[in-house]
A = this chain, B = another copy of it.
């Protein structure tokens, strides 16, 4: 039976890339549809009427929204290369850190790099505190998944890709060798993977995007 898999995406979304990596790891053939978020397609609005955001996966005509739920769907649908651990407690632990990564780590890191003033100061404190938990979780392991990448590596993969770019774009240096040795080693191991070398957003374009964001916040603060 021919399968039809379509991914509604944008080139720069960290939530999209984890889905791309999962599909590639599983060897699932799919069609990419690039969305213009300033002019959302009728398909995106129809498939994700509540959040109206990417990624959306459409499999044989049925859509799934929200990236962590898409990852679970992909893992439950295509059995090659399991993403989540088999053991129920290990599975719960991966899900706990994935939720923590999206609820706490991502927003605090984002604001710490891209905003200004008091908002940035507070976010930096939170970001460093949140990243320390991630550092602890990595101690003694090559990847969150052990010897090879799994669910949580994909969920936190944006950190490996975007942090260097954010540091280049903003001149800030938050993740240092002294404080986050395991995280830095993981970033190196993760970005060295052929899968990631071949599938990531173009860095120059990302740097420009982040510089524009920083300038727009600065201009807003100055006006």
Contact with B along A65-90 (1 / 0, CB 8 A): 11001101100110000000000110
Q: Are B89 and A73 in contact (CB under 8 A)?
A: yes
A59 to chain B, nearest CB (A): 7
Stoichiometry (number of copies): 2
Kindly state whether residue A99 has any CB partner on chain B within 8 Å.
yes
- Which listed residue, B73, B95, B104, B133, touches A88 by the CB 8 Å rule? B73
Give every chain B residue within 8 A of A96 (Cβ-Cβ): 64-66, 69
Q: Point out which of A62, A69, A100 has the most chain B C-beta atoms below 10 A from its C-beta.
A: A69
Closest B residue to A86 by CB, please name it: B76
Q: Specify which chain B residues have a CB less than 8 angstroms from the CB of A89 in the assembled complex.
A: 59, 62, 64, 73
Interface size for chain A: under 10, 10 to 19, 20 to 34, or 35 or more residues?
Answer: 20 to 34
B50 touches A72 (CB 8 A): no
Report whether B88 and A77 are in contact in the complex, using a CB–CB cutoff of 8 Å: yes
| Docked complex: A93-137 residues within 8 A CB-CB of B | 95-96, 99-100, 104, 133
Q: Considering the chains assembled together, what is the distance between the CA atoms of A95 and B67 in angstroms? A: 12
State in angstroms the CA–CA spacing of A104 and B88 once bound together: 28
Residue numbers in B under 8 Å from A92 (CB-CB): 64, 69-70, 72-73
Alpha-carbon gap, A17 to B72, bound state (A)? 25
On whether the beta carbons of A50 and B99 are closer than 8 Å, the reply is no
Q: Say yes or no: is A91 at the interface (Cβ < 8 Å to chain B).
A: yes
Question: Knowing A100-B50, A133-B50 touch, does A91 contact B66 (C-beta < 8 A)?
Answer: no
Note all chain B residues with C-beta closer than 8 A to A100.
50
B76 touches A95 (CB 8 A): no
Hey, what's the 0/1 contact readout for A18-48 against B, CB within 8 Å counting as 1? Answer: 0000000000000000000000000000000
* C-alpha spacing A77/B89, complex, angstroms: 9
Cα A64 to Cα B89 with chains together (Å): 8
Interface set of A (CB-CB < 8 Å, partner B): 50, 59, 62, 64-66, 69-70, 72-73, 76-77, 88-89, 91-92, 95-96, 99-100, 104, 133
Name 15 A/B residue pairs within 8 A (Cβ), A-sorted: A50-B104, A59-B89, A64-B89, A64-B92, A64-B96, A66-B95, A66-B96, A66-B99, A69-B99, A73-B88, A73-B89, A73-B91, A76-B88, A76-B91, A77-B88
